[in-house]
Structure 1
Amino acid sequence: MFNDRLAAANRLSKVAHQFYFFQSFLGIHNTCAQQPHYYFHHHAHTKHLDPSITKLVKDFILDKNDFLQKHIQTHGSLQHMPLLFQSDKKMVLEAVKKNGCALEFASEELRNDLQVVLTAIRQNGMSIQYASKSLRLDKDLVIEALKTAPQVITILIPELVQFYSNHTSKESLSSILELFIVHEPKVFKFLPSHLHDLIEPSRVLVRNGMLLKYFPRHVKKNYAHVMEAVSNHGLALKFASQKLRNTENVILAAIVNHDAALQYASDKFKSNEEFILYTMGFTRGRTFIHASEDLKKNISVINQALSYDGMLLQYVPDKSDLSIRDREIISAAIQACDSFETLQEIISLVTVKNPSLIWNDQDLQMDILMKAVEHISSSNIDLFNELSKNEAFLQKAIEKDSKWLAWYDMNSMSREQLKEMISKYGLKEFSEKYINYTSDYDLVMHAITTNGGHNLQYASESLRSNLEIVNAAIENDASTIRFCGKTILGNNEIMKRVIEKEPQYFIYGDATQLLSNKEMVLFILQEFKAKKYHPTMDSVLIKLLEGLSEELRNDEDVATLCADIRSGLSLHYFSPHIRSNLHVMSHAIANDPFSVQFIPENSELRNNFEFMMRVVSLSGQLLCYASKELQDHAELVFQACKSCSNALEFASLRLRNDFNLVLKVVQLECNTFNSVLAFASKELQNNKEIVLNAIQRNPRAYLEASEKLQADEQVAMETVSQNGIFLYFMPESIRNNLEVVLRAVENDPWSYAFVTSDSIRNHEQVIKIVGLELIEKIDRYDQDEVFRMRYLALYD
């Protein structure tokens, strides 16, 4: 079908003298694009093509559009397409999806089409150069292009400079360039050098320190800018001034970011042993690579480096007294190996430099063998059996890991020798191979008293229920209760001894018996209290609370003790009756006022004036848990607001509209993120006396005032006197009021950014207060940026 005809046409193209006409028949040349059939007949007769060829090509022309569409989808090429295709949005979109630079051959209309241009840019940022001029100057499109092709700025910069020079100030050109750099720091290196002075170095260097290379000398000498650069990319130290490459703080900041930065530090630091040893601590020894040659021959420096990474052995000089041949160095490298593969690399490295060294040193061979065994699976029994035949190896292996005792013949030992081994290594390694030892009272008791109570777990079932054995184990380590027999776990006296040592170990006892026994539960809780309960014990105490019997969940003594230990949070596990108990809840709020949240909603305790007065005195916000009646009690509400002025939020509507109460509350307020005025009634938010009093304590109250008062000059004046940045929130009429503006810039000169009237911005008094230098800096930012910097910084 179509593909068959395409293959045939490709074969035809090999006929050299007909190739040009074949291309013409396909309509690829624009000159014949609109009338391909006429062009075909004309050349077919004049050049006398073979009839079979002409028929095939004529049939092919019928599928010309399909062929071209397929060509565009496959190659994204528009260069030799008919004008009809270069003006077809669907075809052009297909092309630029495959090849963004195909935009060059799209029609003028489509090169001004946002969708087409954006699609092209996302495929290849360089394609923005082919967009219409208006779109080439669109900052959002430029930013999108810079993401994939920062170098395109070199093509766009002449137009950008001309545009911003003609339409805006020099500062606007600076801000637009900084905007591009924020999104793609590499843009900076493609800017002409005469534009570098427009850019604040910090904006660039904190994003790409390596761009320090392109800054003038005075920036490379600036401590702050160089610190920003090396903190972002340590290797930027290469471009710092000689003086700063000899400054310890700068070098350390660079090395923290990239250990190879040491190579650009001055020789003074490369040869400073104390400095190199210190930096190796946080670079895993990597600064050894760039240390001076003398330090690389220093045995203490070498050993310290190899303790971090054995592969650093390759950087030890070959020809020195402390060279690669030094056994101590090689041994340190072997000990630092963290995998079998690294060990193999170390052995290869040593063997290449001195082939006979390893094979002539039995101690070194043993080091290698021991390190190799660490990384060999213990399931390889045959290998371990073979290794255990070597007495010297076995002795050394046991010293490193007691698991090798399993390959040691204990039957050949005397009783005293056996006890000595058990004292040193415990029962663990004997418990399977020499099971009779685990039933030997004398050996088990000896293991527990000399090697630790944990050996109880390797004793036989009968000995784990033996009172003398268990008492000895618990005396040594209370946690060994978890290895005891079931009969022991139900013994209250044994459990009390354990709980006295570590109350959390009650979990290993018989839970059903323990947690239904009031005496034992109170004993456990008293021990928790005596041991000064810490939140890390939460999970254990929760298990106790979850396991309590129904009877104890309704017990006042248990609940009171829980409230004393874990605050009111523990009351969640008790009955509503207990959570309404005045005595219990008084203990709870003394420990944690927020325990009041666990009082049932219908409980009379929420309507108890004296109790709730104690609660809100501790935390005013807890007024929300008081009854509706108490939320309408002026004395209680004011007491809550004295603790936290925002408690007014939970007062009744009547009290939120009470002039005297609200006035007293706003006078209590401190400068916080929220203003209590937000919780006053709409009527009082429109009361000038209330609003002015609120603003004097917290300028944010301005935001809660009615629109009428926000446009009031006296209210505005009071607000900017407190914080000039609030000019940002004020209506146009206020921002164009000279007196208000003067008061605002006196409080904070940055509020100049929010002045919209040119006459006020250029007013002599305003300029005098703010200063031309700061005005120039402020104008680099838009109003929202200034607001975020100055206002949010105060409240974050």
Structure 2
Amino acid sequence: MDWDNKKNFFQILRENEKILETAPISIRNDREIALMTAKINPKGLKYISKKLQDDEEVIMEGIRRYGPALEFASERLKANRDIVLRAVQSDGEALKYAILELKSDKEIIWNGILSNSICFRYIPKNMQLDKEFIIEILSKYRVHMEEYLKSNKKLSNKHLVDIIKNSGLLKNVVPHKIRNEQLMLEVIKTYPYIYGEIGQPYKRSYIINKTAVEEDGFNYLFLPKEYRENKDFIIDVIFHNKGSIRGDILDYIPVNLKEEIINKVLGIIDRIVKEKKLLFSLNKNFKGLEEIQSLKNILELYGINYKELLDNCLVFNKKIN
């Protein structure tokens, strides 16, 4: 390699920064070459001398074009707020190479996320847990929710649900972006109406399907066919939440299933009453066949004293509470 032929050298450098790795010390310590490297291939700053990696003008020129070139700056410059800010404005990934103190700088974080949401991966945990700050960011830059969720798999589901709720992102983004089943479950408990929008992989989950219909019987209409026709699943939903009865699902199931399921449910109620194991409270919205409008009528039809059953349930609830 003719190191004196700078035109040829720069042409190679433009395509392959590693040419500097084997260059003589005189080349790697040449400030003019360092500045040109910063302009045409900032990744080459990795191979310039330590002295030039501490040159503010050289590093600033490099990060202006390629923010993560901050990696090659001296420790002194990585602690320089102006340089770090300029680096993340170029590419948020540059936050990875800043000192810890500057990683917690809100203005730097804002600028980093604006340029590249991957910046979320490098925000310190104390800032990730600052709900007001994160909600403020996500409310303004909604498209970054997916990266935030991806970057915070270890945060509690409750924390993430609060972020989702207060940033106003649920309707527009979350149902399509959540990749964590437990988080999806928490979101459905809070916002059951999103069930119709979630992806098919989640609709293969028994617990998610059960929770969605328990929270809102209308979600039965969005269940996969194998769940809509599963009698045991429907009965499981009706006796949800430690035994309380939820009957509104019967408003949506096919007539050919409805009578059989009601008979099974009434059989369970009858057995519980006879055994005096009243482990449930009554939901007054429980519905029967189309011609029977209330649980009271259904129970009386089967010779069960509705008032006695209700009174016993109330007494039992008082005991356990």
> Cα gap change, 1:724/1:522 in structure 2, threshold over 3 Å: closer, same or farther?
closer
- 1:656 correspondence with 2:128: yes
Q: Deviations over 1:616-662 (max 9, x none)?
A: 12222221111100111122112222233342231122211111111
- 1:563 correspondence with 2:45: no
Given that 1:568 and 1:588 are in contact with CA atoms closer than 8 Å, whether structure 2 keeps it comes out as yes
> In the TM superposition, what are the counterparts of 1:8-19 in structure 2 within 5 Å?
none
Q: Whose relative contact order is higher, 1 or 2, with alpha carbons under 8 Å and at least 6 apart?
A: 2
Partner of 1:10: none
Give distance in 2, aligned partners of 1:578 and 1:670. Answer: 38
TM-score, scaled to structure 1: 0.26
- 3-state SS of the aligned residue for 1:695? coil
> Cα gap change, 1:753/1:575 in structure 2, threshold over 3 Å: closer, same or farther?
farther
How far does residue 524 in structure 1 lie from its aligned partner after superposition?
A: 3.8
Partner of 2:50: 576
Q: Deviations over 1:675-732 (max 9, x none)?
A: 53752874674364423334332226655586696275333433x2543534445546
Pick one of 189, 210, 214 that aligns with 1:737: 214
Partner of 1:322: none
> Cα gap change, 1:676/1:664 in structure 2, threshold over 3 Å: closer, same or farther?
farther
How far does residue 734 in structure 1 lie from its aligned partner after superposition?
A: 0.8
> In the TM superposition, what are the counterparts of 1:625-640 in structure 2 within 5 Å?
625-640=97-112
Give distance in 2, aligned partners of 1:642 and 1:573. Answer: 30
> Cα gap change, 1:649/1:766 in structure 2, threshold over 3 Å: closer, same or farther?
farther
- 1:710 correspondence with 2:186: yes
- 3-state SS of the aligned residue for 2:25? coil
Given that 1:559 and 1:584 are in contact with CA atoms closer than 8 Å, whether structure 2 keeps it comes out as yes
Aligned-residue identity in percent: 14
> Cα gap change, 1:643/1:763 in structure 2, threshold over 3 Å: closer, same or farther?
farther
Give distance in 1, aligned partners of 2:154 and 2:22. Answer: 49
Given that 1:564 and 1:587 are in contact with CA atoms closer than 8 Å, whether structure 2 keeps it comes out as yes
> Cα gap change, 1:569/1:702 in structure 2, threshold over 3 Å: closer, same or farther?
closer
Tell me the amino acid that sits aligned with residue 714 of structure 1: T
Give distance in 2, aligned partners of 1:594 and 1:699. Answer: 32
Tell me the amino acid that sits aligned with residue 554 of structure 1: N
- 3-state SS of the aligned residue for 1:686? helix
- 1:615 correspondence with 2:92: no
Unaligned runs of 5+ in 1: 1-506, 769-796
Given that 1:728 and 1:754 are in contact with CA atoms closer than 8 Å, whether structure 2 keeps it comes out as no
Tell me the amino acid that sits aligned with residue 123 of structure 2: A
- 3-state SS of the aligned residue for 1:635? helix
Q: Deviations over 1:508-554 (max 9, x none)?
A: xxx4xxx3xxxx3544446x39xxx863xx3xx744x2453212211
Given that 1:734 and 1:740 are in contact with CA atoms closer than 8 Å, whether structure 2 keeps it comes out as no
Tell me the amino acid that sits aligned with residue 659 of structure 1: K
> Cα gap change, 1:702/1:572 in structure 2, threshold over 3 Å: closer, same or farther?
closer
> In the TM superposition, what are the counterparts of 1:114-513 in structure 2 within 5 Å?
507=1, 511=2
Tell me the amino acid that sits aligned with residue 599 of structure 1: A
Give distance in 1, aligned partners of 2:52 and 2:199. Answer: 54
Give distance in 1, aligned partners of 2:111 and 2:221. Answer: 36
TM-score, scaled to structure 2: 0.58
- 3-state SS of the aligned residue for 2:191? helix
How far does residue 673 in structure 1 lie from its aligned partner after superposition?
A: 5.9
Partner of 2:270: none
Given that 2:67 and 2:93 are in contact with CA atoms closer than 8 Å, whether structure 1 keeps it comes out as no
Given that 1:559 and 1:578 are in contact with CA atoms closer than 8 Å, whether structure 2 keeps it comes out as yes
Partner of 1:317: none
Give distance in 2, aligned partners of 1:561 and 1:686. Answer: 47
The count of residues paired between Structure 1 and Structure 2 equals 235
How far does residue 561 in structure 1 lie from its aligned partner after superposition?
A: 0.9
**Superposition RMSD on alpha carbons, in Å?**
3.9
Tell me the amino acid that sits aligned with residue 190 of structure 2: Q
Given that 1:589 and 1:596 are in contact with CA atoms closer than 8 Å, whether structure 2 keeps it comes out as yes
How far does residue 735 in structure 1 lie from its aligned partner after superposition?
A: 4.6
- 3-state SS of the aligned residue for 1:670? helix
Given that 2:66 and 2:91 are in contact with CA atoms closer than 8 Å, whether structure 1 keeps it comes out as no
> Cα gap change, 1:754/1:564 in structure 2, threshold over 3 Å: closer, same or farther?
farther
Q: Deviations over 1:193-240 (max 9, x none)?
A: xxxxxxxxxxxxxxxxxxxxxxxxxxxxxxxxxxxxxxxxxxxxxxxx
Give distance in 1, aligned partners of 2:113 and 2:204. Answer: 30
**Larger Rg, first or second structure (1 or 2):** 1
Given that 2:95 and 2:122 are in contact with CA atoms closer than 8 Å, whether structure 1 keeps it comes out as yes
Given that 1:685 and 1:705 are in contact with CA atoms closer than 8 Å, whether structure 2 keeps it comes out as no
Given that 2:218 and 2:252 are in contact with CA atoms closer than 8 Å, whether structure 1 keeps it comes out as no
Q: Deviations over 1:570-612 (max 9, x none)?
A: 2222112222322112222233333222224xx1211222222
Give distance in 1, aligned partners of 2:208 and 2:174. Answer: 20
- 1:549 correspondence with 2:21: no
Give distance in 1, aligned partners of 2:193 and 2:209. Answer: 14
Given that 1:736 and 1:756 are in contact with CA atoms closer than 8 Å, whether structure 2 keeps it comes out as no
Unaligned runs of 5+ in 2: 236-248, 256-321
